[in-house]
Amino acid sequence: MTARKPLGGEVLSKPFKILLAVALVGLLFIGKRFLFGIGSVSGMNDGYPWGIWIALDVVVGTAFACGGYSLAFLIYVFKKGEYSPLLRPALLTSLFGYTLAGFSVLVDLGRYWQAYNIVLPRYSNLHSVMFEVALCIACYVLVLWIEVTPAFLERFNKTELQARLNRVLFFFVAMGLLLPSMHQSSLGTLILMAGYKLSPLWRTGFLPMLFLLSAITMGYAVVIVESCFSSVGFRRPLEKELLEKISSFMPWVLLFYLLVRIEDVNLRGYLPLAFAGDSKGNLFLLENILLGLPMLLLFSPAYRKRRMILFLAAFSIMLGGALYRFNTYITGFDPGNGWHYFPTGPEIMVTFGFLAMELLGYLWLVRKLPILADLSRPARAGG
Amino acid sequence: MADNNFDAISKKLNNISRRDFMKFCTVMAASMGLPLEVAPQIAEAVTSPKRPPVIWLSGQGCTGCTESLLRPTHPSLEHLILDLISLDYNETLNVGAGHQAEEAMRQSIEANSKQFILVVEGAIPTRDGGVYCMVGGRPFMEIVRETADKAAAVIAIGSCASWGGIAAAEPNPTGATGAPEFLVGKPVVSIPGCPPNGYNFLSTVLHYLTFKKLPDLDAKGRPKFAYGRLIHENCERRPHFDAGRFATQFGDDGHRQGFCLYKLGCKGPQTYANCPSILFNEVGGGAWPVGTGHPCFGCTEQGVGFAMPLHEQADLKFITPAADHAPVTSDRGGGVSAAAAALIGAGVGVAAGAAAMTARRLAEADKNDDGGEAS
Amino acid sequence: MRIGRRDFLKMTATGGLALACAPTLAQGRPHHDLPPAAVGILYDATLCVGCQACMVACKQANEMEVEPGQGEPLWDAPRDLSARTLNIIKRYENGDGAVKDRAENGYSFVKRHCMHCLDPACVSACPVSALTKDPASGIVGYNEKACIGCRYCQVACPYNIPKFQWDSTTPKIVKCQLCSHLVAKGGISACCKVCPTGASLFGPVEGLLAEAKRRLHMEEGKSYDFPVASLASGQVQSHRAGRYLEHIYGENEAGGSQVLLLSGVPFTSLGLPELPEQSFVEVADGIQYAIYKGMVYPLVLLGGLIYIIRKRVSTTGPAQSGGEEGV
């Protein structure tokens, strides 16, 4: 069993204060959105009804928050308990990522005060992909809060409650594996409805599978990147061996993903579009290079041993996965008829604000709750 | 219509031919927007000997409305009209005057109680006991109230009688009021205008005579056939408005070419009347204010005529499409603001910086490793 | 390394299965048929003279605000459908725009509004059933009490019809509803009622299809009677038939729609997208059904996961079971 303890230390560090300022500005613009309507803050329009609040905060943001999900597979399905020290930090990131994605949705919804309609049987449309995605994400946020609860209970020494929770935790862990599988793949099906408005470089029946795979790979990439940032930021040693192990199967997953991705485009006859030299073609190439290069690096055992390579490769995978999703929802989407979209300054500040709130939450709780491994007590032999 | 009735009328009217008479009835039908098939019915009513008289009272007015009635340029029709509607009392047109005229009016009213048509011309002053208009030694408002009580129908002709007109312009020192407002509770037909086209009045009266009921009225008691549409919706210069061609000054190029007078203050968009359709004085096309090059000032509308400044732009009640069309595709949305670009740059910078710094530290740790120490 | 390969093989197996399933998943679900009392509009661009009376009538019947567009606020001049404009006449022009209904050096009008599809993407997309297709008339209506403002309908609609009130604090989705409030009282849509030439014709969809086919068989230049306002109005206008493109737009596009169009110039020039017969709704929904129908697969997966998580592991040394140890 991994021993964990709060990191301690000063919460109000300089980065913390800067993030606080960013979050406050974001909140200001969120206030403006509620007072004067979405159009007063964002650049979204009838041609592009979904902007960065959906594409980045929700679609990319939840994928970044798949660290807990990806690790849970390793630890609970493949029984690789040695990864446990990485789990709680990843869950914390997932928690804030998904919760803030949920808040982003509330800000983006035009008639947010009726959001509960989605659970009323009178209104629920079981045929709708959006219905499934929304409910799934909502449930998963609850599951994440429950999965992080042990950390709170430990901190406040509620051993009785802890024991009781542990007896039923398996169910929530199982849900925590099922739900993201469902909604991450459905995020792909969601944009498929756009039909011809989505460029053929991205429009495929494989979207659900590709989105699921990208979520999984991004989950592992986030675990690595987050561990590296934590290690450097909090001046702690890096769990090098664990990360090395994770990075050993990542390139295989990436290989599979890239094979499906590119062969699908090729079989449908659209590969020449990738080399057309226009923005869509270039972005397609970039997104796959950002995934392909790290894949090649991580195939090499020697490179996997280098912290810097691990980090940069994982960072590149995060960017590549994010770009794939961003391309599918924004840059690959063209409704025609002269519509254009670019986010406004305030719109970007809202996204930055949510990101800042996520980081603030993480920085605060990681110091106050037993999230990170207690280095003074070695968990087990080896490592 | 019975032959002997028509013959009697025809003799009175310089032997007007049957055909011309029918033409007149048809014109009356058309101006009311009725199907031409009712023309014979009108003819029947007009030639019936049992038609009710009209009592015409004049108050705070200029007599323009009476004059307007006389302007149709067919002398035979002038007599026809006055004879046909049996105008028993009209101060301008009465042959007699003074006490005898008043007595004649009282007798007519008594004899035809609840059957005659009362026409009111000019406003009714109500302040200070109505002293600002005295007729035969009595305040006009008393006379109106008394007479209206006994009338079968009341028609207010002209803007002054309809809602006060020029007499009621700010600050309205005499308390000038229109007949509908004064005779609260009694249905009053209004034929506003300054002056109204004589045919609007004539058609209303003939409708009553023929069908024994008043034509369809709007919420203000105005016959819909004449006041159902805005001038703006009937004006011959409307295509210029739709195409954005305006006269901006009297005598400029646009004005000379007959462009829309909206920018000169035309109140057509706020005024209900049929002037562009039936024009005035039967002298041919263009015989109405806008047609001659002057913007309409809204003489029929309370709150517009004698209230709004002549050259103030009117409110458009119904905004309709312009003469052009939207293209199939037009560029919309997008546009990179400086703030957005700056923020994106900053965000990318921060992320790149953090990544670079982390990478460097990790590289150092790697190097330490190579030096033999595990970490 | 051995562990890595085992895991990879596990993944490939599941992935291969998914690959195998993908083509069948995309087959979609069956077409929708015409509702029993389906009403619609036949728009004939060759009859349209661009008077825009339909735009005025629409705004009045639906109490919509005017939209000055770029010009002075003297006119209602929208450039496209919007939260204030449910129906718009647009003009196609090419070259010197001299001849009506000719693609080259010609011009044509087009009337755009909701197509009231037989398999509406918006209805399928909406998570709260705010957009519903009337089971009798087939009119796609909007219920603001249900709507959460997620705008998925805007993403889904192949014609980009639903518009959003971006500048409102209580925004709604806005689109033509075929004057359902007038149709319910036995009337017809305002645009058709007021159209002077019969370019916009209301009626039961089957009747409109028959009328459209009749027009495609007309001899160009010969005089024919064309119904005005609605098929049942009894009013006709005599026109000389123009040259039609041999295609009724909306008969099959994206599964078919209750609004049909005829034109002398290519429909893509008029801004109408070229769409396959199978709607994208069918594809996306097909995938959803295959995976989630009856929630069978998810529940099976959940059962499997619970079983694996609870199972005590004995073989792989330092690994621990997840059940008791917690998170």
Determine whether the interchain pair C109/B318 forms a contact, defined as Cβ–Cβ distance below 8 Å: no
Residues of B in contact with C272 (CB under 8 A): none
Q: Would you tell me the crossing angle of helices B198-211 and B39-47 to the nearest 10 degrees? A: 80
First to last CA, chain C: 27
The token duo for B349 is 């910078």
Number of Cβ within a 10 Å radius of residue B113 = 12
CB contact under 8 A, B328 and C270: yes
Question: How far apart, in Å, are the Cα atoms of B276 and each of B254, B270, B291, B293?
Answer: 20, 14, 8, 13
Please give the residue of chain A at the shortest CA–CA distance from C308: A77
Nearest CB to B333 within list A232, A306, A341:
A341
Domain of residue A75: give its range: 14-368
Same domain, B190 and B256: no
* Cβ contact A11:A301 at 8 Å: no
Domain assignment present for residue A380? The answer is no
Regarding whether B188 and B203 lie in a shared domain, the answer is yes
In a domain, B12, yes or no: no
Q: Is residue B310 part of a domain?
A: yes
Domain span at residue B183?
51-227
Q: Same structural domain for residues B156 and B239?
A: no
Does residue B191 sit in the same domain as residue B239? no
Q: Token match 């449309």: residue?
A: A125
pLDDT band of A90, cuts 50, 70, 90: very high
B332 close contact with A: CB closer than 8 A? yes
> B223 and B349, same structural domain?
no
B249 and B221 within one domain: no
Give the per-residue pLDDT at B82: 55
Domain count, chain B: 2
Burial of A14 (0-12, 13-18, 19+ CB in 10 A): exposed
CB contact residues (below 8 A), chain C span 219-238, against chain A: none
Question: Does residue B35 belong to the interface with chain C, where contact is any CB pair within 8 Å?
Answer: no
Q: Is residue A115 part of a domain?
A: yes
Q: What are phi and psi of B235, to 5 degrees?
A: -70, 140
Mark whether B313 and B191 lie in a shared domain: no
3-state secondary structure of C200: strand
B15 vs C: CB within 8 A? no
pLDDT of B74 strictly over 50: no
Instruction: Provide the CATH number for the domain around residue B333.
Output: 4.10.480.10
Q: Report the Cα–Cα distance between both ends of chain A, in Å, rounded.
A: 14
Any domain includes A3: no
For chain B, how many residues are written?
375
Please work out, in degrees rounded to the nearest 5, the angle formed at the alpha carbon of residue C253 by the alpha carbons of C249 and C259: 50
CA nearest to B304, candidates B265, B250, B247: B265
Window from A263-272, A349-358, C299-308 with minimum mean pLDDT: C299-308
Asked if the C-beta of B333 comes within 8 angstroms of chain C's C-beta atoms, the answer is no
Is the per-residue pLDDT at B125 higher than 80? yes
Specify the CATH number for the domain of residue B140. 3.40.50.700
Task: Check C15 against A260: CB less than 8 A apart.
Answer: yes
What's the pLDDT tens digit per position in B131-155?
A: 999 988 899 999 999 999 999 889 9
- C178 CB within 8 Å of a chain B CB: no
- Of the residues B189, B204, B227, which one is the last residue of a structural domain? B227
Contact A367, A11 (CB under 8 A): yes
pLDDT tier, C27 (very low <50, low <70, confident <90, very high otherwise): very low
Give chain C's domains with CATH numbers.
2-27+298-321 (no CATH), 39-278 (3.30.70.20)
Q: Which residues of C168-179 are buried (b: 16+ CB within 10 A; e: fewer)?
A: beebbbbbbbbb
Cis peptide before A237 (omega within 30 of 0): no
Q: Would residue A383 count as lying in a domain?
A: no
Q: Is A7 contained in some domain?
A: no
Compute the distance between CA of residue A62 and CA of residue A103 in angstroms, rounded to an integer: 12
The per-residue pLDDT of chain B, averaged, comes to 86
Interface test with C, best of B245, B248, B259, B319 (most C CBs within 10 A): B319
- CATH of residue A119's domain is 1.20.1630.10
Q: B81 with B181, same domain?
A: yes
Q: Which of the four pLDDT bands, split at 50, 70 and 90, describes residue B374?
A: very low
Domain total for chain A?
1
pLDDT band of B92, cuts 50, 70, 90: confident
* Domain assignment present for B349: yes
Q: Which of C82, C169, C142, C177 is nearest to A111 (CA)?
A: C169
Q: What is the mean pLDDT of chain A?
A: 92
| Inter-chain touch C288–A127, beta carbons under 8 Å | yes
Q: Is the same domain home to B152 and B294?
A: no
From chain A, the residues in CB contact with C4 under 8 A are 248-249, 252
pTM of the model: 0.83
Residue B24 within a domain: no
Last residue of a domain, one of B201, B227, B253: B227
With respect to residue B71, please indicate whether it lies within any of the assigned structural domains. Answer: yes
A22-33 per-residue burial string, b: 16 or more CB within 10 A, e: under 16: bbebbbebbeeb
Residues 283-312 of C with CB under 8 A from A: 283-285, 287-288, 291-292, 298, 301-302, 305-306, 308-310
CB A207 within 8 A of CB A191: yes
Is the confidence at residue C312, as pLDDT, over 90? no
pLDDT category of residue C165 using cuts at 50, 70 and 90: very high
Mean predicted confidence (pLDDT) in C55-66: 93
**DSSP states of C229-286 as a string?**
SBTTS--EEEEE--PPPS--BTSSGGG-BSEEEE-SS-GGGGTPPP--SS-HHHHHHH
- The verdict on residue B44 lying in a domain is no
Which pLDDT band holds residue C14 (cuts at 50, 70, 90)? low
Quote the pLDDT of residue C32. Answer: 67
Q: What DSSP assignment string belongs to A61-75?
A: HHHHTTHHHHHHIII
B178 located within any domain: yes
Q: Residue B28 falls within a domain, yes or no?
A: no
Who's near A309: CB < 8 A, 6+ residues apart? A297, A303
Are B143 and B275 within one domain?
no
Q: B345 touching A, CB under 8 A?
A: no
Concatenated DSSP letters of B243-310 = TT-B--STTSHHHHTT-B-GGGT--GGG-B--HHHH-STT--TT-SHHHHT-----TTSTTTTTTS-T
Strand ranges (DSSP E) for chain B? 54-58, 87-90, 117-121, 124-125, 134-135, 138-139, 153-157, 176-177, 188-191, 326-327, 332-333
Q: Examine the predicted complex and report whether its ipTM is higher than 0.90.
A: yes
Interface probe for B, chosen from A227, A306, A354 (most Cβ of B below 10 Å), is A306
Same domain, B223 and B235: no
3-state SS class at C118: coil
Which tokens go with A312?
């940069």
Confirm if B88 and B104 have CB atoms less than 8 A apart. yes
Domain's final residue, options B174, B197, B227: B227
Task: Give dist(CA A138, CA A157) in Å, integer.
Answer: 29
**Using one digit for the tens of pLDDT, what is the confidence trace for B268-283?**
999 999 999 989 887 8
Residue B219 at interface with chain C, using a CB cutoff of 8 Å: no
Residue B66 Cα, gap to closest chain C Cα (Å)? 38
Question: Looking at the predicted structure, is the pLDDT value of residue C98 above 70?
Answer: yes
> Does a structural domain hold residue A31?
yes
Q: Are residues B274 and B167 in the same domain?
A: no
